[in-house]
Amino acid sequence: MSISPALGKIAFNARALAKFVPAVIRSGIVGSEGGLGGALNVPSILARYWFTTAREVEQGAAQTPLRNALIDDDGILTYRQLRDQSRTLAKWLLEVKDRENLEELHVGVMARNGRGMLIPLTAKGYAGATLYLLNVGSSPEQILGCIEENKINVLFIDDEFAHCIPEDYPGLTIAYAHQDESHTDYTSIESIVSSPDNGYALPTWPKHGYIVLMSSGTTGVPKGILRPEPRLPLVLAGLLEKMPWRAGMTVQMTASMFHTWGWSATNIALGARNTIVTQRHYNPENVFKQLVDYKCNAMISSPIFFKQLLEVPDNEKYDTSNLKFIASAGHALTPEIVRTMNNRFGPILCNIYGSTELTLAAAASAEEVAAQPTVAGHVSTGTTLKLYDDQGNEVPQGAVGRIFLNNSTSLIGYSNPNTKMVKIGDLIEMGDLGYFDENDRLHVLGRVDDMIIVGGENVYPSSVSDILEPMPGIADLHAGGVDDDETFARIAVWIVRSDDDAGRSLTSDAVRDWVREHLAEHSVPRDVNFIDEMPRNATGKVVPRFLPASVYKA
C-alpha cells in the first residue's frame, strides 16, 4: 500500500525525532543541568530563539552562568558574560537601525576565531538580523561586492583586514571586531559592550533572519549561501551518535568559525555548555599547549591542520590523554593522516562529511575511521541522501553516483537569485561522487568536476594523492587532471619537497614509479611539477588556479 508524500514526510520526521531526542539528552544539550530553574527555561528560550547561537548562550547563562564559555586570545568569558555582552551589542545594532532608518539589519562579520566572531553571531539572534559570515581570505574587491550585492549595512571586521573596508561607502556602519592599539578610526565591539546600556528593549520574539555563509571562491563575488536557523536540528543526532560529545566538555576549536564546519561545531559546543578554547591565528605548538593547559576533552579541526600539528618537534612531551575524541571535517581524510593521527593520539579520530551549502550529511565514528580511513559514514538522522547517474537515475548500492541530499539545515537558495541550484526533486547536488558500501556507509571519491577519464578508465585524483602522501620526500601535494592529446586527459601532480635528503633527491620518475607500484597505469601522473609552496586559501584548501601551469617532465 502506498502512502502520500505528506504522510511519508511525517513518518520520516517521526523516525528522525525518535533518534534525535535520546541523542541530545545523552549529550546534555537540552538537559537539566543547573537545577530546576534552568530546566524550566528550556521551552520558552527554545520558542523565542529556535536553535540559534543566541539560544545556546541564553540557555547556558540560565543553567551554568559561571562556567567558562570562551577562552580566546583576549581572555575568558563566562556564559553570563557572553550573554550580557551579546545583548549589549544587539541593543547597539537596534540603535544603529533606528539612527540610520534601516528597514532590516544586514550584518557582515569578517573576523577570525574568538569573541570578535562569537559576540556578533550571538547578537544576531537577539536583535533579529540577517548575518553574513565573510571569508577572511576575500580580497577588497570581493568584500565590496558582498556588501553591494547583499546590502550589508553594518560591518564588524578585524582591524588586520582594514584594507578591505570600502572608502566612503554610504549607509555602512563599521566597528572593529578585534582591534589592535594602532587602529582607532572606528569604534570596536570591546568599546560597545563596555559602554552603559542604551535603554533599547530587545524584541521578545525576534525575527530570525538567515545565516549567510560565503563561498571561498577566488574570483568574482563569493556566493552567499542562505541557510535558515532550524527550529529542530534533527541532523545533530547523527553526529552525536558517532562521537562522545557531551555536556560540560572543554573543546579546542581550530576549525574556522566563519566556515560551515566551525560555525556548526561552535553551536553544538555552546549547546552542550562546553568551554571553547581557540586562537585567532593557527599555531600548532600553541594548540598542544592549550590541550594540556585546559585539559581539553575534544579537538575540532581539519586534516590540513593535523599535518602541521604532527610536525611540531617533540610533540610527544605534551600530555593529551584527556582527549576523548577528535572531530574532522572540511577536507577529506587520507589513510596517511588517519594512521599518523591515531599513532599520536590513539584511535579517537572521527569524520564528518558535509559542505558549505548542505552542512552535515554523514558521520563516521572513530572505530569506523580506523578501520576504513576514507569512509564518510552513515547518513545523518533527518537527512535524505541519494546517488544518481548523469541521466538522473538512482544508482544501486556499490555503484558510483552523484551525491544529492536535503535536510533541515540545507541551504534554501543563494543571496543572488541568479545563482542556480542543481536539484532532482527536493534533493540538492553536493558536487561530489560517492557510493554506498554493503553496510550502507557512504564513501566519497572526490568532486564531480575532478574525475577524469584516461583511456576509457575513471581516475579520481584523490586516489593518487592518497598513495603519494606517505612517500618519503613529499611535504605537500595536489593532484588534478590535465588535457592530453592521446587520452584526452591525464593526471598531473604538484609537489612540495620535504627539507631533507629524501626531498632533495626526489625525482619525477621516482614519483611515477611509486604510483605505478600501487595503482593501475592509467593513474600514473604524466606531469610531475615541483613547487616551493602550495597555494591554499584561508580554510586550508588548495586553490588550483594559483598553481603554476603543468608541464610534462620526463
CA proximity to 128, closest of 240, 221, 205: 205
C-alpha span between 78 and 521 (Å, rounded): 58
Query: Which pLDDT score is estimated for 180?
Result: 84
Amino acid at 152: I
Which three cell numbers, joined as nine digits, stand for 349?
A: 579520530
Query: Which pLDDT score is estimated for 332?
Result: 83
C-alpha span between 188 and 528 (Å, rounded): 49
Query: Which pLDDT score is estimated for 419?
Result: 83
C-alpha span between 120 and 90 (Å, rounded): 8
Cβ-contact 534, 307 below 8 angstroms: no
Phi then psi for residue 88, to 5 deg, are -60, -45
As beta bridge partners, residue 108 has 132, 155
Cβ-contact 223, 419 below 8 angstroms: yes
C-alpha span between 203 and 453 (Å, rounded): 57
**Domains of the chain: which residue ranges?**
5-371, 452-546
C-alpha span between 177 and 170 (Å, rounded): 20
Phi then psi for residue 527, to 5 deg, are -110, 135
Q: Which residues make Cβ contacts (< 8 Å) with residue 399, sequence separation at least 6?
A: 387, 389, 435
User: For the segment 277-306, what is each residue's pLDDT rounded down to a tens digit?
Assistant: 999 999 999 999 999 999 999 999 998 899
Could you tell me where the DSSP H helices lie in 186-259?
189-193, 236-242
C-alpha span between 176 and 185 (Å, rounded): 9
Q: Residue 530: is it exposed, middle or buried by C-beta count within 10 angstroms (0-12/13-18/19+)?
A: middle
Under-50 pLDDT residues of the chain:
1-12, 32, 34-40, 554
As beta bridge partners, residue 225 has 213, 414
Phi then psi for residue 87, to 5 deg, are -65, -40
Cβ-contact 281, 116 below 8 angstroms: no
Three-class DSSP category at 423: strand
Query: Which pLDDT score is estimated for 32?
Result: 43
Query: Which pLDDT score is estimated for 21?
Result: 58
CA proximity to 402, closest of 420, 421, 423, 381: 423
CA geometry: angle at 166 spanning 161 and 167, to 5°?
A: 120
Query: Which pLDDT score is estimated for 499?
Result: 94
Query: Which pLDDT score is estimated for 2?
Result: 45
Cβ-contact 527, 543 below 8 angstroms: no
The topology under which CATH files domain 452-546 is GMP Synthetase; Chain A, domain 3 (3.30.300)
Q: DSSP letters along 513-536, please?
A: HHHHHHS-GGGS-SEEEEESS--B
C-alpha span between 88 and 368 (Å, rounded): 45
C-alpha span between 29 and 59 (Å, rounded): 9
C-alpha span between 214 and 259 (Å, rounded): 8
Question: Which long-range CB contacts under 8 A does 173-180 form with residues at least 24 apart?
Answer: 173/96, 173/100, 176/116, 177/109, 177/110, 177/111, 177/116, 177/117, 177/120, 178/74, 178/111, 178/112, 178/114, 178/115, 178/116, 178/280
Q: DSSP letters along 446-482, please?
A: EETTT-EEETTEEE-HHHHHHHHTTSTTEEEEEEEEE
Query: Which pLDDT score is estimated for 129?
Result: 95
Which three cell numbers, joined as nine digits, stand for 371?
A: 578501520
C-alpha span between 420 and 356 (Å, rounded): 15
SS3 of the chain: helix, strand, coil, percent, to 5: 35, 25, 40
Phi then psi for residue 413, to 5 deg, are 155, -170
- Starting from the edge strand earliest in sequence, which strands make up the sheet with 488-497, in order? 474-484, 488-497, 527-531
Cα of 248 vs its chain's centroid, Å:
22
CATH class of 5-371: alpha beta
Three-class DSSP category at 429: strand
C-alpha span between 15 and 538 (Å, rounded): 39
Query: Which pLDDT score is estimated for 527?
Result: 93
C-alpha span between 4 and 159 (Å, rounded): 55
Which three cell numbers, joined as nine digits, stand for 451?
A: 574525475
Which three cell numbers, joined as nine digits, stand for 327?
A: 572531530
Which three cell numbers, joined as nine digits, stand for 120?
A: 556578533
CA proximity to 140, closest of 222, 73, 29, 83: 222
C-alpha span between 257 and 330 (Å, rounded): 12
Query: Which pLDDT score is estimated for 375?
Result: 94
C-alpha span between 156 and 304 (Å, rounded): 28
Return the sign of the alpha-carbon dihedral for residues 112, 113, 119, 124: positive
